[in-house]
Amino acid sequence: MNEPIASTSFDAQSGANAPLEKVAIETYVPPSKPSLVGLSRAEIAEELAAIGVAPAQRKMRVQQLWHWIYVRGASDFEEMTSISKQMRIQLDAHFTVARPEVAAEQISSDGTRKWLLRLPSGDSLEKAHEVECVYIPETDRGTLCVSSQVGCTLNCSFCHTGTQRLVRNLTAGEIVGQIMVARDRLNDWADRDTPSGGRLITNVVMMGMGEPLYNFDAVRDALLIVADNEGIGISRRRITLSTSGVVPNIIRTGDEIGVMLAISLHAVRDELRNELVPLNRKYPIAELLQACRDYPGSSNARRITFEYVMLKGVNDSLDDAKLLVKLLKGIPAKINLIPFNPWPGTRYECSDWEQIEKFSEYIFNAGYSSPVRTPRGRDILAACGQLKSETEKLSARERQALRAMAMTD
């Protein structure tokens, strides 16, 4: 699983060697009875062969399992009534179709839902790990924000998730499993009615805990399942992968996954981005933007989103806006301005709304779409940059501070 290599670089501001990336402290230990969730068709066929399913039956069994798992959301082999009883017993003896367990659910005053998901492990001595997954309902779509790591590889200074250790990468099954859990909780499978008559989860964004491109293989395998027309069936144009700038894997994302790309930019000068996104010391802005220019399939119809969190007195001047427009020249782009979502202990503040509007207006007049993202789920710590595993519990003082911040929005 593409584990990051620990590296350090001299930080001119602190005069110390600051780590750019964290190293995972654990590796995944599969349970004794593995789940078929997250396996490709070829991998399911291999598993069936290993338990003695005859070659002549495998293709049919794979098709049946794929339909029951990803179209109808079966959580138990007993539900799969088109498969013979004897085969169901055989499957149940060796596998599960389990997804992560919902340890807690919070529902924001704005309808946003956050699930704390507990991940099973085959290591009886290992504490069960947890990740967060967020569903954001809107009038014209429903977006699911999915995690790729327990913790995060990176140390972005404004991001709550970045304050955590990197415990380990998620498997493809644990990534796909988040979408399946959300469909379970929302009753959003294809054979069930929803209040709107349409699907509730229409979009997926890899913007939860972790840096997706430091877990490339698992993220790729999971998203190919999510986009499969005979399964979960979410179009690649409705799947967005967000990266802080792992340049070597950006082109691979376009070639091997083909989803929409979002870049967590947040600064237009290397010296500031080195502080906000320390990975910039390894892959500076010019190198990152060249990878965006070379991104396969980008066009005016498939623009790259540049995420820019608005930090008061840090990156929100009109000079910053002018340089941003200059830097993105020639890239099919839209710029997503994100009001900073405060979290207990942060040293940053959100830009004043008047300044955000001026910044947005300049970018819009330069010919770029520049929507200002409406903060969602702040009262349950579910907004952009706020996700943090419940494994690292907030203190009572932190929770009090959080409630106070939510009330002032």
What's the pLDDT at 376?
60
CA distance 223 to 221: 6
Does residue 203 contact residue 144 with C-beta atoms inside 8 Å?
Answer: yes
Catalytic residue among 47, 130, 132, 307: 132
| β pairing state of 142-145 and 166-169 | unpaired
What's the pLDDT at 125?
65
CA distance 106 to 260: 29
What's the pLDDT at 126?
67
Strand partners, 71: none
152 noted as active-site residue: no
Catalytic residue among 133, 152, 156, 384: 384
**Residues in the chain with pLDDT < 70?**
1-18, 124-126, 374-409
SS3 content of the chain, % helix, strand, coil (to 5): 35, 20, 45
Residue of 67, 33, 76, 68 whose CA lies nearest to 51 = 33
Q: In the chain, what percentage of residues exceed pLDDT 90? A: 71
132 noted as active-site residue: yes
Q: C-alpha distances in angstroms, 258 versus 214, 220, 261, 298, 327?
A: 17, 9, 9, 10, 24
| β pairing state of 239-243 and 260-264 | parallel
- Give 296-333 pLDDT, tens digit per residue: 988 888 999 999 999 999 999 999 999 999 999 999 99
What's the pLDDT at 371?
86
Does residue 181 contact residue 130 with C-beta atoms inside 8 Å?
Answer: no
What's the pLDDT at 406?
38
